[in-house]
Structure 1
Amino acid sequence: MSDPHSKPTVNHEAERAVLAALIRNPDGKDIIRLGIHADLFTNLSVKEAFSGVCRLIADNVQPDPATLRNALSQAARIEYETSMSVHVSAANLAVWVTLLKDCERERRCVASRDWLTKAIDARRPADEIRKLFDDLEALQQPTVRRSTFSPLADLLKAPPAENWLVDGFIGEDSTNVIFGDSGSGKTFVTIDLLCHVAAGLPWRGHDTLSGPVMYLAGEGQNGIIRRFKAWFEAHPGHEDAIHNVLIRTVPAAIGDPVAVAAIADEIRGMPVKPRAIAIDTLARNFGAGDENSTRDMNQFVSGLDALRVASGAAILVPHHSGHGEKSRGRGSSVLRAAIDAEFLVERSEQRITVRCMKMKDADEPAPLSWLLTRQDLPWCDAKGRPLNSAVLVPTEAGQSGTFEEKSRLPAAQRIAVDALRTALIRDGIDADGVVTVAEDQWRQACYSAGISSSDKPDSCKKAFNRARQDLVANG
């Protein structure tokens, strides 16, 4: 027997009523204002008709029998005609949408219960199970219209909570820009941060909240995949975190309300919401607008907000520096005014440094630096040649006046010094506060860093020996 107290998960009449109302009054603003999205519909033919109507509205085409005939399958056309014959008014659209949202919420509750059961049976990490509990509890809360105002006296009873995705750097439910020149290492920093979250690892000593992450790759998809592979090759033992990373390999027009609504719908349908969403880069995912236009940038920011609200995630946006002013991101100042934190990425040879340029409601964290280090991959190209990428290896920030800078070392010696630092970090043995590393491990680090322009073993060996001897001779 079915549970007499269970809530309905489907309402076919409401689905047809919403479809008919949108055809009779095709206003894209109503779709956004009421939060109408494809996952509200369970009837596949009605869903197809709804998507067709949205496409026509986005193209400024009136949805009518003539335009829909070529856009829909026969089954969807039957649903469209039935909906129009049964529902002759668009007056109660908001009421029908509310009914559909109630059904969709109940479907999500059912899915969340299933995911929670599977997570417990699979003995997933406690914080992941706790988030599933929290998500389910939030879904089960009754929808009550409450005042949008709160008495200040209530708000001052306790300090507001500081909820960090990466402690002191990236807040939960926040919008962040990571900007720098082309080739500065923005994507490497973003991938490194995302993978630490996916694996539940501290990022440069700062605690993280573990969970799924999403990466919207607007360019260089093959290179992006190699960079993610390189990270996991450089961090063995965390292969399970691969399942926490979702990648989209086509650009997303975040400035287009219809396009961003489709992505937000997809996120809302996920049983476990992402902790972080990276949109790399702003330019490739901006859409048809102009970055310098206040109106278009406002639309882009609204798109970011829609993804943030749908997920509760931290939004990360790698972005290019301004053409003349390198200390700010390119385009309209609307973006910087709207975000919670902003980070500048700079590169000097193989050293990549991140500096906080804005932290809205907390102290600015200290700069962080890494060495960009070659990482061999267990793959070959179509001609059998080995593939490689690079990873970030932590190092100290702000090392102006170091030995290599004071002495203006030749390139091979600088590579050898950086490779020694890398080997000490990766393979060093600490004995009474003194860290040492085997010469062979230093040599291999130099080979990976490209100390020789040739890949021949004998050339690499000679280049390493010359650099080592010169460094010893120079003291």
Structure 2
Amino acid sequence: MGLSDKLRELSQEQRLDEGPTDWGQPFEESLVSVLIEKPDLFAKATPYLRPNLFQSMACMFVMAQIATDYAEHGVVPTRSLLRSRLSKQLTVDDPYEDILGLVDRKPTPREVPFVVQELDRFVGSRILNRLTSDEMLDLMAANDAVFTAAKVSEIYAEYDRFRNGDIQDSFSASELLTNFPEQRPAVVDGFFREGQIANIVSSSKVGKSWLMYGLALCVAGGHPWFGHATQQGRVLLVDNELQPEDLSFRLRSVSKELGVSLTGLDVWTLRDAPKSLSELRPRLKALEPKQYNLIILDAKYKFVEADASENDNADEARFYAMLSEIAGSTKAAITLVHHSTKGDQTEKRVTDVGSGAGAQSRAADCHIILRDHEDDGKVVLDAAIRSFKPVQPQVLHFQYPLWRLDEQADPARLATKQAKDQRNRDHEGCTQILDHLRESGKATASKLRVLGIGKDRLVKLLGQLVAAEMITETPVLVRGNPTFEYQMKSE
């Protein structure tokens, strides 16, 4: 049996947790607190941190719950979720305060690198102990029997590749260029590729979901999306907001208006049985690689754990780490429908428009945002992209049920806060005029002055209503003077 065969056998046995260790309680508590605070640092070792490694009773209790969650969901539970679950299980005979105190304990900055380094050394030594048997000594030259630290590191790296599916992560520059001569295929050219994550961001009720329905049908049919080529392939839409009947109506409407088939689009409706991403993770990872070109999650906030916060960097990092794992497993691009921060968006960078902690802006490969245009009913689509050259902003106009490209509008004319406030005031003024005309039947501009609207502004609003074909204007004479009379347009 060669070294590689032996390592493969060990990876299947998973016998690195033959505890307990001699770490001591201070280090055990540091390890547990760092694991809860920064679980991504322990991606390699978490499956092997069994409770029986620990001598501290509090650490054993906490690690038992972490091991349970990891086995079921593949992630370390958040601090608040861990506290909630332990509180329900502990009895008066358990070291209650010690256990919950350990869950609440946050590591110091100095503890983090120390714990990671010691844990790496521990796992490597456990592998070493398993390998330095008579069987292994027969396989190695006598002068290699006493392994150096470098040899331990080498063995650990090789073992880790076996455990993670023979994934090589260390290359010389020439090896990197040889092994990866081309970028991954684009799912939507200019925006995102296979296995990448994209945030689709705008304020509430702008029409992000309608934008995604169009994207889904374009990818499923291989049609361009606002002038960008798509790679045809199946699409999975995972919706957790709409009732199935409403989603059915929307997809049917978009399909009819686009003149394309719904073939190639699969839908999971979770409105009546909502699930977080960690709960959905096993089902998504069970998909065959490249079964789907694109997976759309609508909407992000409903896939977040109940006790997690989009404003917590650790929670967001954990969320996007799960997404990356799913994208890597399915080989699909994943798009998230996400909401923007409150307030004026015009001066913000593209990556700062999405609501939540900074991890969401750093973790995604592509950010596509919609910001209000000066013209009512229009938005400016802009993007920040990791693996394509920058794209130029485009103006979209929503004409139910589709977003359409408006090549005549200027994308530089973003709606400022002042413009939005003016638009709201104009909307209120138009509503006043329409209400008055419904009651009076007809009126001239001079009679409409009773509404308290200034003369110039009144003329402007009347012009808008006439152009929108909501009212009509008829030339009349009043005391010999020519003017216009206005009334509601008949149906």
TM-score, normalised with respect to structure 2? 0.49
- Is the alpha carbon distance of 1:148 and 1:240 closer, same or farther for their aligned partners in structure 2, counting shifts above 3 Å? closer
Q: 2:382 corresponds to which residue?
A: 355
Q: Does structure 2 retain, via aligned residues, the 8 Å contact 1:263–1:307? A: no
What is the identity, as a one-letter code, of the residue corresponding to 1:413? A
Matches within 5 A, 1:29-40: 29-30=66-67
Aligned residue in 1 for 2:212: 190
Quick check: 1:213–1:246 contact (8 Å CA) kept in 2? no
Partner letter of residue 265 of structure 1?
Answer: P
Preserved CA contact (<8 Å) 1:234 1:391: yes
CA distance in 2, matches of 1:453, 1:285: 47
Matched residues in 1 for 2:412 and 2:85: separation? 59
What is the CA-CA distance between 1:274 and the residue it aligns to? 2.2
Which residue is equivalent to 2:395?
A: 369
**Paired residue for 2:236?**
214
Partner of 1:466: none
Q: Establish whether residue 260 from structure 1 lines up as the match of residue 277 from structure 2.
A: yes
Q: Which residue of the partner structure matches residue 396 of structure 1?
A: 407
Shift of 1:173: 0.8
| C-alpha distance 58-170 of structure 1, shift in aligned 2 (>3 A) | farther
1:146-176, CA deviations, whole angstroms, 9 ceiling, x for partnerless residues? 6431121222357542421001112221111
Between the aligned partners of 1:32 and 1:153, the Cα distance in structure 2 is 41
| 8 Å Cα contact 2:316-2:357 kept in structure 1 | yes
Structure 2 equivalent of residue 332 of structure 1: 357
Looking at structure 2, the residues matched to 143 and 312 of structure 1 have their Cα atoms a distance apart, in angstroms, of 16
Letter paired with 2:247 = I
Q: Cα distance 1:212–1:397, how it changes in 2: closer, same or farther (>3 A)?
A: farther
Q: CA separation in 2, counterparts of 1:250 and 1:237?
A: 29
Displacement, 1:296?
Answer: 1.8
1:355-399 Cα offsets, whole Å, 9 max, x none, are 11x11232121223333223xxxxxxxxxxxxxxx2223332643
How big is the shift at 1:415? Answer: 7.6
Offset at 1:186? 1.5
Structure number with larger C-alpha Rg? 2
Mapping for residues 53-68 of structure 1, pairs under 5 Å = 59-60=85-86
Whole-Å separation in 2 of the counterparts to 1:340 and 1:147: 22
Quote how far apart the aligned CAs of 1:177 are: 1.0
Q: Distance in 2 between matches of 1:172 and 1:453?
A: 54
| Structure 1 residues 267 and 284: alpha-carbon distance in aligned structure 2, compared to 1, 3 A threshold | closer
Q: Which consecutive unaligned segments of at least 5 residues does structure 2 have? A: 1-46, 53-59, 74-80, 91-162, 414-418, 420-459, 471-486
- Aligned-residue CA RMSD (Å): 4.4
Query: Cα 1:160–1:57, aligned 2, differ >3 Å: closer, same or farther?
Result: farther
| Deviations 1:290-348, CA, capped at 9 Å, x for gaps | 21112222222223223322322212112221123523111211110111111111244
Which of 293, 312, 321 is 1:293 aligned to? Answer: 312
State the secondary structure of the residue aligned to 2:356: coil
* Paired position in structure 1 for 2:185: 163
Q: Where does residue 232 of structure 1 map in the other structure?
A: 255
Identical-pair percentage: 17
Measure the CA separation in 2 of the matches of 1:319 and 1:415.
35
CA contact (8 A) 1:319 1:329 kept: yes
Q: Does 1:321 align with 2:337?
A: no
Q: Are residue 148 (structure 1) and residue 169 (structure 2) matched?
A: yes
| Aligned 1:98-137 pairs, distance under 5 A | none
Amino acid at match of 2:232: S
Output aligned runs, 1:429-468, within 5 Å: 459=491
Determine whether 1:413 maps to 2:477. no
Per the TM alignment, residue 411 of structure 1 is displaced from its structure 2 partner at its CA by: 4.4
Question: Could you tell me which residue of structure 2 aligns to residue 174 of structure 1?
Answer: 196
The alpha-carbon deviation at position 59 of structure 1 amounts to: 3.5
Within-5 A mapping of 1:39-118: 59-60=85-86
Q: Give the letter aligned to residue 305 of structure 1.
A: S
Unaligned 5+ runs, structure 1: 1-17, 39-54, 65-141, 254-258, 375-389, 417-451, 460-475
Cα pair 1:216 1:249 within 8 Å, conserved: no
User: Residues 240 and 219 (structure 1 numbering): CA distance in 2 closer, same or farther, change over 3 Å?
Assistant: closer
Query: For the Cα contact (< 8 Å) 1:27–1:57, is it kept in 2?
Result: no
Number of residues of Structure 1 aligned to a counterpart in Structure 2? 288
Q: CA deviation digits over 1:396-418, x for unaligned, max 9?
A: 2643799xx9x9961452589xx
User: How far apart, CA to CA, are the structure 1 residues paired with 2:340 and 2:222?
Assistant: 30
